[in-house]
Amino acid sequence: MILIGRNLSPFVRRVALWCAHQGRKIERRELTVAGDDFIEIGKHNPVARVPILILDDGTHLIETFAICDYLEQTAPEGLRLIPSSGAERVECLQRLALANSTAEKIVAMVYEKVRRPVEFQWQSWQDRLDRQIAGGLSVLDQTAEGRRDEYDGGDLAMIIAYHFAEAATPFLLEPGYPHLRDMANRAMDWPGVTETMPAV
C-alpha cells in the first residue's frame, strides 16, 4: 500500500500510525498540498486533499475516518484500535472525535497565523480559534490523566494532536497540558510514533 501525505498532517499521521500498529507495510510518498505537489495530489483525490491510501489492487481511499474504518475492518485479529461495540466504543470514538476536532482547529490556526500574510490576518478569528483549541486541549488533558496502560485509536488521535501543536504552533501549548504531554512522551514507545514525528 502507498500512503500519500506528510507526517506534519495529523490526519496523514493517524493513518501511518494505524498501519504501524497493525503491522501493515506501506510505502510513503510525502507530498504536500501547500506546494508544487498540489497537482500531483489532485490526480489521486479530486479535491486534492491528504491522506490518500492506495491499496495493492490500485483502489484509492480518501479521508482519514474512511481509511481507518477500512483498516479496522481488515485488521488482523487482536489489532483493532476501536472497540467493536458498546460504551467502550462510544467513549473511544468521542476521544478520537475531540482530538480530531482540536487538530482541525490547529490546522486552521496554522493557515491563519503562520501562512497568511500579516496584513490579511483576522485577529477576532484567531481569538476564536485559540479559544476552541484551548477548550479541546484542556479536556484532552483531563482525559489523558486517567489513561496509562494500553492505548487505542482515541489515544493515538490525542497524542497526534499534541505533537502537531508542538511542531507547528508551540505557542498554543503555553498554558501547559501536563497529562497530555506525559501521554505524548510515553507514546514514543508505541509502534511508529518516533518514526513519524512531525517536522515543520
Are the CB atoms for 144 and 179 separated by under 8 Å?
A: yes
Rounded Cα gap, residues 76 and 38, in angstroms: 34
- Per-residue pLDDT tens digits for 27-46: 999 999 887 899 999 999 99
Q: Which amino acid type is present at position 138?
A: S
- Per-residue pLDDT tens digits for 120-151: 889 999 999 999 999 999 999 999 998 877 89
Give the neighbor-by-neighbor strand order of the sheet with 52-54: 27-29, 2-4, 52-54, 60-62
- Per-residue pLDDT tens digits for 46-69: 999 999 999 999 999 999 999 999
Three-state SS annotation for 15-83: HHHHHHHCCCCCEEECCCCCCCCHHHHHCCCCCCCCCEEECCCCCEEECHHHHHHHHHHCCCCCCCCCC
Coil vs helix vs strand at 2? strand
pLDDT score recorded for residue 113:
86
